[in-house]
Structure 1
Amino acid sequence: MAQPAGDLARPGPADILKLLAPYPGRAAMATRIALICALTAFVTSAYGTPEAAISAYVVFFLNRPDRVLSVVLGSALLVLVTVLIGVVMVVAMFALDDPMWRVACIAGLSFGLLFVTSASKLRPVGAIIAMIVGFALDELGSVPFGEVATRALLYVWLMVAIPVGVSIGVNLLIAPSPRKLAGRALAKRLRLAAQSLSEPGVTAGALSECLHEGDAEIGTWLKLSVVDGSSVRDDVGPLRQAVSSTLAILVAANLAASEPSGRLPASFAAPIAETLENMARMLDAGGYPVDIELKLPSMTELTPLARLVVEDLRDAITRFAVVEAQTDVEGESKVESGARTEARTQAQVEGKTTPPPAAKRGGFFLPDAFTNPDHVRYALKTTAAAMFCYLLYSQINWPGIHTCFITVYMVSLGTTAETVEKMTLRIAGCLVGAVLGTAAIVFATPVLTSVAGLIALVLIGAWLSAWVAFGSPRIAYAGFQIALVFFMCVLQGAAPGYDLTVARDRTIGILIANVVVYLVFTRVWPVTVAARVDAGLAALRQQWVRLAALPDAVTRRAQAASAMAQCGALEQDIALMHYEPSWVRPEAQWIAERRSALAKLDALEGPMFLLAERRPGDAAIEGWLKRVVGGLAVSAVESDVSAGAMGATGVQGAGGTVVTALPAGQDPDLPEAAANDDTRTALLLLGDARLTQLEHAASNDAAKELTAHASA
């Protein structure tokens, strides 16, 4: 099982070294980013455009692992910035000569863009756009007449256009295709499953982390592979089936690695591991395996759990890319949907209840865009912090710290915990970047004799920053900040710069912005992640109830992968809470209850998935889910899904209604053959044992805490 959620966001020195360890594709990504930054620095030096450091830094926001998304994102950002520069030109006609109007326009445009950032799908780049618009208006305020103002706007456009153009060119030449990345990801998962069969104790944690990553990114790559021509349409169906089969392989391997009774003897583990390794090599080569043969000994001597593992692995491997009758991972076919509607109507006539349908996808704006006040508050808080920094360096006439205005947009996030976490990482990255930048100015810059030397220096610094930024999300923001500060120190103009004052001022500006954002986001309308956790728990349980009843294997597995990824995201949210100040963070008991519920859901993922694979709609799954949330507030979680009960029986306990699964042989809803199924019995016993173990652990922790309070 995964480590406790509360420990996920507290990396120690050993954890940091592990997060910095190489993995397939990391060096290639860092090299590509470094090359684009170096070429951007070369172009800005050749043409003498100002703010070369910002141009190099924008590269980090333009690139993704695959070439299609990188090109599309860069092109879209360039079009958007071009439109916004036109808006700025119109605004400047009325506000250029009046400082008060200029400040008002900066604040108004910042608020509008930040609101759209928070309330729509523009979130990944919205803050960058708001920063560019504000910076453009600020630059216009320092020009003496209109012609220079026009040239200043051109330079602001070039500040984005140069890295976009370089990024598109480099990505088209050397970036990997989406098909290659999808094959590489599937091969990595198959190799991990193969390794777990021979080294179960070593790979158990890695398997859990892999399951919590989900399949969304791989699915996106498969769609994009058709767009760029790296896959033909006839291959998409088998590859989607391969993604579905890989999930089943990972779940079965995880069960074998985490349960001693599920371990496979060498006579089974060796041929299965060898087959998985051969399949991984085919995926790495750009193809996918078909007509797979797997010869295994008789399973009569295996335990029920081990036999279940072998059966699942054999079926998933031999039918790895065999397209099933229904393979639409986005939703159900019209025929199936109609049948489901008819069944739901019949159930309502008979007085039964069914799980609620899945929510429809929204458009550009989020469903709560115009009803949730947090979107307006986020825009107001970020704008207020940015305007304070703008007025600070303007009034004290210290333009060298103008980076405080820029940094506010980079640091602010929707919740207090995320903002403080990002600020912590950025301060650490700021200090590291300042040390590297100052060392480069003192020791490297004096020996540079040409622009080529400066480009080499940028290449090295960008590569180190990208290695951190495009690794684990837990330290990624530190890499972004290292890049920003390093570029601010080294790229002082069209030629190598030696002024340590520039590095000092820009670093001070970044630190000022972090302090201002911290004070604003922790004191003014602080937003805790608690509401998101409760809503996520309710949605997660609904998702398991729905997928447990799906008869189609591919759709069910896609939903299961999404549910596992959601569980991992909720664990991260719980872990983020230790960044919240005491007056924002929920009570310790509240956190402990949610952490316990997530630990139980994590422990039940394997048994629920395997049970749903064999018997869709099994009553034991709903029983487990009710038992998980039995101690939580009904209004937060239980009320949203009470209508989804599937026939389990319950007993009243101190913490609420605790529903337990009926043992095999006593379930009136299943035929006699199903009741005698020893694999189902083994799964029921496994799920109950895991829940009981976690409940006892939670009770012991509560007793220790009560004793500590009493002795105090």
Structure 2
Amino acid sequence: MATQTNAVPGVPKITALGQSFWQLIRKELTPYPGRAWVAGRVTIASTIVMLLVMTFRLPGGFLGAIFTIFLTRENPMATFRAGFRAVAAFLIATGYTIVTAAMLIDDPVTHFLWIVVSLFIAFYLIRILEDYGTAVAFGFMIAGAIPVWDQHALNVNERLESTLWITFSVAVGVAVTIVVEYVFRSVHPITDLTEGIDARLEIVESILRATAEGEPVDPKTQERLQLYSSVGASRLRRLILRSEYSAQFKAQASAAASLVGRLTDIAESFKQSLIERRSRIDPTDAERCRRLADQIAELRKALWLRKLPEDIKMPSHTELSSLNFLSEMERTVAFIPKAFMATESVKSYIPTPLDEIPHERIFVADALSNSGHLQFALRGTLAAMACYVVYTAIDWRGLSTSLATCIITALSTIGSSRQKQILRLGGAILGGVFFGMGAQIFLLPYFDSIAGFTILFAVVTAISAWISTASARLSYLGVQMALAYYLIHLQEFTIQTSLAIARDRVFGVLLGLFSMWLLFDRLWVRNALDEMRDAFTQILEMSAEFAEQLVRRDVTKAILRVRQLRDRINASFITVTTQADAIVFEFGPDRERKLRIRDHFRRWQPSIRTLLQLQITLSQYRVKQTLLEVPEEIARTGTVFEQSIAAMMRAMSSYISEKVPSPVPDLQSSATEFEQAIRTYHQSHGIPLSSEASDIIVLVENIVSVLVPLYDDIRSVFSTNEERVLLSSRVNISNA
């Protein structure tokens, strides 16, 4: 009886977990504007590559097909550059393979060492190259060349020919992807990024207008709002990072995208509160909803016209509303133009030395100084070499697909190990077993032409592409699914019906997944909450240092340091977002509190992004006119203001990292003194307030309006017992 009594309460939990999982899958697979275009481009490009591979009997065709997923970008030019880099990486890897393997092939010991070194280089490049597609291109070439150069039945010329064919297949895939991108963009010139932001703003605007008129929200609008609130803004940020915009504008657009995502989340809560509301809406609140809807409409108009949005006045804290979340929505909308630094002189601002130098970085900034890159490469090399030793020892060469699996699953920013395990295994089962072997058993024996195989290939590719365009929580499943299917059906130049070959390749994928789980995911890996907390505190600490750079006397050194801090802060933003998605896949007794802290971090991140953009704008003025060139009183009060910002940032970091915070100065008072010093100087000299001085005053007021509420929120959250106990326990476990 005791056993039955204990078992009953667990049933609702299992049911609730299953329902939550199903809701997650349903929302992730729901269409959104632009998704069908992306999936269609990938499907058409992959199918064309498949037809070329089958027609002209190109070895290594699965690589050409899988790169159609890797290379899809925000615009054709970005796709062209990514494709060019991928082909260049394959050519470099080919030259490296031909020279080194030919020299070391005769001796088994040196050949084994060549494999170890080559895999280490491949994994190290995945970590330190800025472009992931380029790094994977090099790694795939190594993973494809190792089995070729292990075939002693082939002479050196035949091995060389096979190696060159692999590079050519990828070049074909790249060329097809670029052509398809250009054709699609000519037919559908609107960018996916513009559609994604506009669609979210349109939904919020519709809800506000319906509220102002006292009408119910359209069910379709409610469904779309729920979808966008679920998937978040991670895909928008990926599109921004892959775009051809300058680094400065990428940071601005990322901040705006985060704010739009935050606005969508708040609108979802706003809609729920309207459903539960029983009383009529006050006319004053209806007017505020109408005014906010008009402001969003102006933002959308500026977006379509590619104009800088006009500044929106921050609502007063004393302006209360009977509608829940309305004030928060007003504040979030007011932040969006501030992310783009919408002040008059900034619109016509002449670039300064602080502006981004127009060149692309090949390697990450800490490529040689960060020990984490070496740890990553060692983890990947150990996992891949374990696969190589196993299939070589048992003489099962069909398992060589495990090497390519290790390369493609070595993603350092995909989330926690548990999340990676689920997505990898699910992709292998769906693509390799369900679609791959299932097609061999039930469909392919009845196909007598390439037409049927093409239809089946396009359907599986479309499903994989659709999943790969989901949020970061699920997108990797589509990539892994496509890879598993292509490994089975795009290696030979005929319809593959042999289950033995499919079995070998599926088992090779599973061997690679098991090795990555056993070695790669176990060494030097921490849980997602710790990673998220550390990244967030680093953002606050670097933001404090950023503020301190604005009061340095040496402007040249300050500029260089500001550039470094800006890049590192933006990279940490990505880490926070990634780990926030990963926490969903972690279970245990503390899961509910972890998710609550996760929601806090996600709520605060858009404000931090906005603060960074406001500080960058202020730094532009500081570079233009240094402290030595401004009146002494303005320089003194400006220095006090920036030091107050740094102190408040470090205090927030201390609260989150369980340290005793230092006393925080009154930021509002220091801001008032700074503004008063600027006004007094102009009045005493009888000159009107310049546009630049007005802009600085506006920036200072905006910084205060963002930072003070953020500080109060963080202090109140981490002054409570539950959050402090949870984070303290995590810190103690990590230190132990």
Give distance in 1, aligned partners of 2:163 and 2:31: 41
Distance in 2 between the 1:42 and 1:303 partners?
64
Could you give the per-residue CA deviations for residues 662-696 of structure 1, whole angstroms, max 9, x where no partner exists?
Answer: 7899987776999xx99999989965764465246
Q: Deviations over 1:524-575 (max 9, x none)?
A: 4556674675254223343377479999xxxx9xx99997995574253266
Code of the aligned partner of 1:407: T
Shift of 1:627: 4.7
Q: Which residue of 1 aligns with 2:159?
A: 149
| Aligned pairs (5 A) from 1:89-108 | 89-108=98-117
The 3 A distance-change label for structure 1 pair 666 and 562 is closer
Which residue does the alignment assign to 2:538?
538
Q: 1:199 to 1:599 in 2, by over 3 A?
A: farther
Instruction: Flag the 1:609–1:363 CA change in 2: closer, same or farther, 3 A.
Output: closer
Match of 1:430 in 2: 428
- Cα contact 2:387–2:403 (8 A) shared by 1: yes
Q: Distance in 1 between matches of 2:228 and 2:310?
A: 26
Which letter maps to 2:601?
L
Q: How far 1:490 moved relative to its partner?
A: 3.2
Cα deviation code 1:86-108 (max 9, x no counterpart): 23222343234444433332222
Query: What is the match of residue 504 of structure 2?
Result: 505
How far, CA to CA, are the matches of 2:259 and 2:582 in structure 1? 30
Kindly state the Cα deviation for residue 450 of structure 1 after the two structures are TM-superposed.
1.0
Q: C-alpha deviations, 1:233-285, integer Å up to 9, x for none?
A: xxx99x9999998888888898888799999722343355256447647856x
Rounded to whole Å, the distance in 2 between the matches of 1:400 and 1:702 is 51
Higher mean alpha-carbon deviation, 474-483 vs 135-144, is at: 135-144
Deviation for aligned residue 1:515: 1.1
Which of 26, 30, 45 pairs up with 1:36? 45
Q: Distance in 2 between matches of 1:14 and 1:120?
A: 36
Distance 1:524 1:136 in 2: 27
SS at match of 1:376: helix
Of 603-612 and 41-50, deviating more is 603-612
Q: Which moved more, 1:540-549 or 1:72-81?
A: 540-549
- Pairing 1:570–2:570 present: no
CA contact (8 A) 1:140 1:152 kept: no
* Cα distance in 1 for residues equivalent to 2:596 and 2:394: 50
SS across alignment from 1:15: helix
Distance apart, 1:508 and its partner CA:
1.3
- Residues 84 and 569 of structure 1, relative CA distance in 2, 3 Å threshold: closer
Alignment correspondent of 1:112: 121
| 2:245 paired residue number | 223
Give the counterpart of 1:180 among 177, 184, 191. 191
Q: Secondary structure at the match of 1:265?
A: helix
Q: Matched residues in 2 for 1:293 and 1:598: separation?
A: 26
Q: Which of these residues, 76, 84, 89, is aligned with residue 85 of structure 2?
A: 76
| Alignment-mate amino acid for residue 628 of structure 1 | M
Select which of 717, 723, 735 maps to 1:694. Answer: 717
Point out the more displaced range, 155-164 or 506-515.
155-164
Q: State the shift of 1:479 in Å.
A: 0.8
Following TM superposition, by how much is the alpha carbon of 1:116 offset from its aligned partner in structure 2, in angstroms?
Answer: 3.0
- 2: CA distance, partners of 1:610 / 1:257: 27
Distance 1:15 1:572 in 2: 17
SS of the residue corresponding to residue 191 of structure 2 reads helix
Amino acid paired to 1:381: R
**Compared CA separation, residues 500 and 276, structure 1 to 2 (3 A):** same
Cα shift at 1:518: 1.6
Q: Is the 8 A contact 1:430 1:481 kept in 2?
A: yes
Q: Say which is worse superposed, 687-696 or 609-618, in terms of deviation.
A: 609-618
Deviation sequence 1:305-353 (CA, Å, 0-9, x none)? 9899879969988999988422599x9725x99xxxxxxxxxxxxxxxx
Q: Quick one: distance in 2 between partners of 1:255 and 1:689?
A: 19
1:64 pairs with 59, 68, 73, which one? 73
Q: In structure 2, what is the equivalent of residue 480 of structure 1?
A: 479
Letter in 2 for 1:487: Y
Cα distance in 2 between the residues matched to 1:219 and 1:380: 28
Q: State how far apart, in whole Å, the 2-side matches of 1:321 and 1:121 are.
A: 27
1:539 alignment partner AA: I
1:180 Cα shift? 3.0
1:18 CA displacement = 0.9
Q: Specify every segment of 5 or more residues in structure 1 that has no aligned partner in the other structure, as ranges.
A: 1-7, 226-235, 338-357, 639-654, 707-712
Q: Superposed, which structure 2 residues align to 1:560-709 within 5 Å?
A: 566-567=572-573, 569-573=575-579, 576=582, 598=601, 601-602=604-605, 617=641, 625-633=649-657, 655-657=660-662, 659=664, 690-691=713-714, 694-695=717-718, 697-699=720-722, 702=725
C-alpha RMSD over aligned residues: 5.8
Quick one: which amino acid aligns to residue 542 of structure 2? Q
Contact kept in structure 1, 2:253 and 2:340, CA below 8 Å: yes
Q: Is the CA contact (8 Å cut-off) linking 1:603 and 1:690 kept in structure 2?
A: no
Structure 2 partner of 1:131: 140
Q: Shift of the alpha carbon at 1:373?
A: 3.1
Of residues 7, 11, 14, the one that matches 2:23 is 14
Query: Residue 169 of structure 2 is aligned with which of 159, 164, 182?
Result: 159
Unmatched segments (≥5 aa) in structure 2: 1-16, 212-216, 274-280, 552-561, 619-636, 680-696, 730-736
On the 8 A contact 1:411/1:423 being kept in 2, the answer is no
- 8 Å contact from structure 1 (residues 131, 406) kept in 2: yes
Kindly state the Cα deviation for residue 170 of structure 1 after the two structures are TM-superposed.
1.6
1-side partners of 2:391 and 2:184: how far apart? 42
Query: For residue 27 of structure 1, what is the aligned residue in structure 2?
Result: 36
In the superposition, relative to structure 1, how do residues 633 and 164 fare at CA in structure 2: closer, same or farther (>3 Å)? Answer: closer
Partners of 2:308 and 2:163 in 1: CA distance: 57
| Secondary structure of the corresponding residue to residue 326 of structure 1 | helix
CA distance in structure 2 between the partners assigned to 1:666 and 1:112 by the alignment: 51
Q: Give the one of 77, 81, 97 matched to 1:88.
A: 97
The aligned counterpart of 2:278 is: none
User: Alpha carbons of 1:306 and 1:621: their partners in 2 closer, same or farther (altered >3 Å)?
Assistant: farther
Q: Distance in 2 between matches of 1:435 and 1:168?
A: 31
Contact 2:400/2:508, CA 8 A, preserved across alignment:
yes
In the alignment, the residues of structure 1 paired with residue 142 and residue 49 of structure 2 have an alpha-carbon distance, to the nearest angstrom, of 21
What is the identity, as a one-letter code, of the residue corresponding to 1:194?
A: E
Whole-Å separation in 1 of the counterparts to 2:88 and 2:670: 65
Equivalent AA in structure 1 for residue 465 of structure 2: A
Partner of 2:460: 461
How many angstroms apart in 1 are the aligned matches of 2:523 and 2:333? 53
User: Aligned partners of 2:128 and 2:245: how far apart in 1?
Assistant: 26
Q: Percent identity?
A: 19
Matched, 1:325 2:325: no
Structure 1 residue 416 displacement after superposition: 11
* Number of residues of Structure 1 aligned to a counterpart in Structure 2: 631
- Secondary structure at 1:150 match in 2: helix
**8 Å Cα contact 2:380/2:410 also seen in 1:** yes
Q: 1:607 to 1:377 in 2, by over 3 A?
A: closer
Letter in 1 for 2:399: I
1:45 corresponds in structure 2 to: 54
Task: Give the C-alpha shift of residue 462 in structure 1.
Answer: 0.4
How far apart in 1 are the matches of 2:286 and 2:477? Answer: 44
Maintained 8 Å contact 1:600/1:628: no
Q: Within 2, Cα distance between the matches of 1:495 and 1:449?
A: 11
Alpha-carbon contact 1:242-1:321 (below 8 Å) kept: no
Select 1:407's aligned residue among 405, 408, 412: 405
Task: Report whether the alignment pairs 1:194 with 2:218.
Answer: no
Contact 1:382 1:517 in 2 (8 A): yes
1:266 to 273, 276, 286: 286
Deviation track 1:441-484 (CA, whole Å, cap 9, x = no partner) reads 22221221211221111111000001111221111121111112
Amino acid across the alignment from 1:114:
F
Separation of aligned partners in 1, 2:596 and 2:263:
29
Q: Is the 8 A contact 1:85 1:157 kept in 2?
A: yes
- The two structures have a TM-score, normalised by structure 1, of 0.70
Distance 2:390 2:446 in 1: 37
| Secondary structure, aligned partner of 1:24 | coil
Q: Which amino acid aligns with 1:160?
A: V
Q: Supply the distance in 2 between the matched residues of 1:132 and 1:303 (Cα, whole angstroms).
A: 62
Shift of 1:157: 2.1
